[in-house]
Amino acid sequence: DLATAFNDRGQIKYLRVEFAAAMEDYTAAIECQPGFEVPYYNRGLVLYRLGCFDEAMKDFRKVLELNPQFEDAALSLKQAVLDKEEKQKRSY
């Protein structure tokens, strides 16, 4: 389906370190199928790598709302919280 196609294309762009383009595809996948948790997770990973911890945590929480058994999202959420706290301690 279209949401899966956008998500898959986003993955290719992510692997090429084309983060802005990957996020556009993940967002398009979400718009096509709002209940599909994978593109939220993938977009969260990009946001995390860019240091946008609040936005990443929002996406990881949405994944867990849609699928509470999504362990990688739970781990990523914990890591984003820890890294945000560490960044605040260092006051970047």
Question: Domains in the chain, start-ordered, CATH in brackets?
Answer: 2-91 (1.25.40.10)
Nearest alpha carbon to residue 64 among 73, 75, 54: 73
With bands split at pLDDT 50, 70 and 90, how would you rate the model's confidence at 92?
low
- Scanning the chain, the segments in alpha helix (DSSP H) are 2-15, 19-32, 37-49, 53-66, 71-90
Distance CA 32, CA 18 (A): 21
pTM recorded for the entire structure: 0.94
Query: Up-side HSE of residue 45: CA atoms within 13 Å toward CB?
Result: 18
- Tens digits of residue pLDDT in 13-71: 999 999 999 999 999 999 999 999 999 999 999 999 999 999 999 999 999 999 999 99
Cα dihedral across residues 14, 52, 26, 24: positive or negative: negative
